[in-house]
Each structure stands twice: as C-alpha cells, then as structure tokens.
Amino acid sequence: MHARNYRAVKGQAYTRKEFAKGFPPPKITKFTMGDTKGTFDIEARLVALKRAQIRHSALEAARVATNRLLMEKLVNDYLMIVHPYPHVILRENKMIFGAHADRLQQGMRKSFGKAIGTAARVEPRQTIITVRVKANALETAKESLKRGSAKLPIPCKIEVEKLQSSSAADAVKAETETA
C-alpha cells in the first residue's frame, strides 16, 4: 500500500464513521501549539498549490517537523495552527497475490473494503499550517514551514503577511465606529 494511491481526490468523500467498523483514529491530535494568548507581528502560512488528500500520518509528520524547529529556536514564543482535519475515511479491499491465491479470496464480491486510515481533503490556495511569530523570528518560521512541507505529498508555498498591531487595530475599529 502506497500513499500515492490515496492522494488523488476521487468521488465523494466518505465520512460515515457509524458504518465503518473499527477505523483507526487520526494520528494528529493537537492542532494548536505554542502561546495562544501572545501577540505576534508576522504570520507565515503554508499554502497548498494542488487539490489532494493528505493522510493523517502525513499531517502529523508535518506538524512534528514544523513544531520541532520552532520549539528549539523560539521555546514558546510562537503560535502554530494546523488547519485541515482528516474527516475522510480511506478504505482498502485487500487482495492476496501469489500461488493459489484464487482459492482464498472472493475478488470484487462484497468489495466495500476495510478502513485503513483517514485523510483531509485540501483545495488549491487552502492554508494547511499557520505560524505566528515576532518580527525577529521570521526566518525561523519560514525554515520550519519548509521542513513541514517536505512531509506533505503535494507542492506547497510559504506566504508571509504582516499582522496589524493591536493598537493599530483598535484605532481602525474606533475610526469605523465613528463614521
């Protein structure tokens, strides 16, 4: 079984967990890491360039790779969010190959398949991982997202955006209220 068999988005998403007997829970459990209450200057995003399904194990590997560098360099002075959730259940109709395999299997009769994992469907221009940091840690954020994108099965790009400071945001809010 290779991940490339499940990368392409084919057909309708299968998310009915009540019909799938004993599907494995997603490996990714934490979606938000770092300082959730801090204020940050810059937001770097990992954006998908193609439509695909990303398996839960690939999402977890990307999260770990991205978070590891941020923890080493910035300790807890960052905020990282993984956006897609693996809802789609992946199934496989296991077949036996080799000598006398035809006596042991039913072929395509009752070929619903067993659940083998979950995946998240991602569209082009959809944000996969967001990292917020202070202005002096921009290169660390870019490098961490680059390491995380290496774990994903699709091409991605890194977009950087400057966040409005809270005082500037309050001034804009007050200006719109008076108008």
For residue 168, give Cα distances in angstroms to 39, 77, 89, 139. 13, 22, 44, 25
CA 69 – CA 66 distance, rounded (Å): 6
Domain 3-178 has CATH 3.40.50.10470: no
Residue 82 pLDDT > 90, yes or no? Answer: yes
Percent of the chain whose predicted confidence (pLDDT) is above 70: 82
CA 173 – CA 130 distance, rounded (Å): 25
Residue 46 pLDDT > 60, yes or no? Answer: yes
Residue 52 pLDDT > 70, yes or no? Answer: yes
Residue 106, amino acid: Q
Q: What is the pTM of this model?
A: 0.79
Sheet with 79-82: list strands edge to edge: 32-34, 79-82, 127-133, 42-48, 156-162
CA 131 – CA 138 distance, rounded (Å): 10
